[in-house]
């Protein structure tokens, strides 16, 4: 009997943990926030879209990890 209760509690804990992990990065409500990752075209690292620095270059939107990467990319594009 005790082992059955222990197993049920363990399963419940696992289910709750997975639910929490799934919802930990999402904000519910009107402005739902995604955790989509975007790639910086200059240094090629991935960053959360919500933390990216968005810059328009040649009528195209780009996401950068920092102002430095945005400036380096802008300089590379103007040199071409």
pLDDT for position 21 = 76
Q: What is the pLDDT of residues 19-52, one digit of tens each?
A: 877 766 555 555 555 578 999 999 999 999 989 9
Predicted TM-score (pTM) above 0.85:
no
pLDDT for position 23 = 65
- DSSP string covering 5-53, please? HHHHHHHHHHHHHHHHHHHTT-B-SSS-B---EEE-TTT--EEEGGG-E
């Amino acid at each position: 009997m005790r082992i059955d209760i222990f197993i049920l509690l363990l399963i419940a804990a696992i289910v709750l943990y997975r639910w929490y992990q799934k919802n930990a990065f999402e904000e519910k409500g009107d402005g739902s926030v995604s955790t989509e990752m975007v790639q910086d075209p200059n240094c090629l690292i991935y960053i959360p879209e919500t933390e990216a620095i968005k810059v328009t270059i040649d009528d195209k939107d780009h996401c950068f990890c920092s102002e430095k990467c945005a400036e380096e990319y802008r300089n590379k594009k103007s040199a071409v």
